Amino acid sequence: MSLTIGVDVGGTKVLGGVVDASGRVLATSRRDTPREGGSELTKTIAAVALELMQQHSITAVGVSAAGFVSSDRKTMLATPNIADWNGVQLEVELTKLIGLPVVIENDANAAAWGEAKFGAGRNQAHMMMLTIGTGVGGGIVVNNELYRGAFGIAAEFGHLRVVPEGHLCGCGARGCFEQYASGSALRRHAREAISASPDLARNLLARGDGTIDGLTGQAITDAAREGDAVALAAFQTTAQYLGAGIASLAVLLDPSCVVIGGGVIDAGEILLAPTREAMKRYMPFAGKHPYPEIVAAELGNEAGLVGVADLARN
């Protein structure tokens, strides 16, 4: 059976895995992500792959990383969150170090492909995935193929403008989707709910250091699970924006399935149920067409690794 390696480059760790054709991870290797980025990061990826290649017969290596990847999957065009990696000819450099064919993919695209092939979106020819963490990443599968666009920036859902002149985003624009429907947005909505009802918010605040700034997404999720009204209000607001955004994306792409992944999905139905309601409420031509199902991702942190390993295989 053909084995490939997927390497997922994250902010803190570089995680590699040997993956078989059915999406099973047979072995893993990890290193810390070098803070200086650049050629040290490229060498770290190669070291992870070479270690795994010692134990298995590998045909190709896929690398998923945050940033804009050229549509020919060879060059990191821009990496806002990785130092000194802009414009790196990663495919050429890694092929030299590893000696195998290498494919590069944006991390959210790789995760979407993993879920489409082996996870919550399997058997769906038309699906999209939203990876909701600090920001919002996206991936689109059309006709069983990953959609990359002309210049490698397709599916950057997080930067769709949803509020004209809204909150300033890290990308430099205002009112981006991820300012309203991400893990960071959940905390913002919690802060607003606390300010609106300080008496009701005591229980929630007690889960952190007592201040609004000391409140983590995990604490808000834990409180919501126990029925805390303020925490649930923060999820409701996040879900309103998320559902409205998905309704707009459905008009554009008409998927049968929308997979939600990333850290925020730990909340499960606390987020998904109001998101489905909001999607229906905001959907144009309501009731005149089927709606996409909205489901939780199944592959967790391995989605990108498994997805990019499969992309390298084909």
169 lines the binding site for Zn ion (CB under 5 A): yes
Distance CA 105, CA 303 (A): 13
Q: How far is the CB of 181 from Zn ion (least distance, A)?
A: 12
* CB-CB neighbours of 265 under 10 Å: 20
185 lines the binding site for Zn ion (CB under 5 A): no
Q: How far is the CB of 162 from Zn ion (least distance, A)?
A: 10
Q: How far is the CB of 12 from Zn ion (least distance, A)?
A: 23
Task: Specify the amino acid at residue 74.
Answer: K
Of residues 19, 69, 129, 176, which one binds Zn ion by CB under 5 A? Answer: 176
Of residues 97, 153, 171, 212, which one binds Zn ion by CB under 5 A? Answer: 171
66 lines the binding site for Zn ion (CB under 5 A): no
Nearer to Zn ion, 128 or 176 (CB): 176
Nearer to Zn ion, 53 or 169 (CB): 169
Kindly provide the b/e burial profile for residues 149-179, where b requires at least 16 CB atoms within 10 angstroms of the residue's own CB: eeebebbbbbbbebeeeeeebeeeeebbbbb
Segment contacting Zn ion (CB under 5 A): 166-174, 214-222, 273-281, 297-305? 166-174
Nearest to 180 by CA among 169, 172, 171: 169
């489905």: which residue's tokens? 276
Contacts of 256 (CB under 8 A, 6+ apart): 124, 125, 126, 127, 290, 292, 293
Q: How far is the CB of 76 from Zn ion (least distance, A)?
A: 19
* DSSP category for residue 161: B
Q: Categorise residue 144: left if φ over 0, alpha if ψ from -120 to 50, beta otherwise.
A: left
Nearer to Zn ion, 23 or 262 (CB): 262
159 lines the binding site for Zn ion (CB under 5 A): yes
Nearer to Zn ion, 114 or 158 (CB): 158
Binding site for Zn ion (CB under 5 A): 159, 169, 171, 173, 176
